[in-house]
Amino acid sequence: MTEPSEAPLLLLVEDDPLVSLAVEEFLSGAGFAILVASSGQEAINLLEGDASLSAVVTDVRLGTGPSGWDVGHRARELTPSMPVIYMTGDSANLWSAHGVPGSIVIQKPFVEA
């Protein structure tokens, strides 16, 4: 009998508690383990301390401190192949200038499909 594989660990970065909870529930339901950060600095600290992360899902605007763009760039500095997904309500047009290569952006509001 083979051991079940562990769920991929995603870093979710969102400063709005209600949005964070909804996205966390959706991703958990899709089979991912979730590590949540509510600020850019908290996310960067987690990235620098946890080599087992499989991907980053980050809001772009995170209040004061590092932005989601900064989080994506730091993730790629640490792990060049790290998948990065940006979420934004108003900054999608800045993605090509500020996002990391090979990333994607999801426009808020979004709904489960």
For β-strands 104-107 and 84-88, DSSP reports them as parallel
Extended strands (E) in 1-113: 9-13, 33-37, 53-59, 84-88, 104-107
Question: Model confidence at 89, in pLDDT bands (50, 70, 90)?
Answer: confident
Q: Is the pLDDT of residue 1 over 60?
A: no
Q: What mean pLDDT is reported for the chain? A: 91
Domain at 68, CATH number: 3.40.50.2300
Q: How confident is the model over 83-93, as a mean pLDDT?
A: 91
pLDDT at 92: 86
The token pair at 99 is 């996002």
Q: In this structure, are residues 53 and 37 in contact, taking their beta carbons and an 8 Å threshold?
A: no
Residue 22 lies in domain = 9-107
- This prediction's pTM: 0.90
What's residue 5's pLDDT?
61
Residue 35: pLDDT above 60? yes
* Domain count along the chain: 1
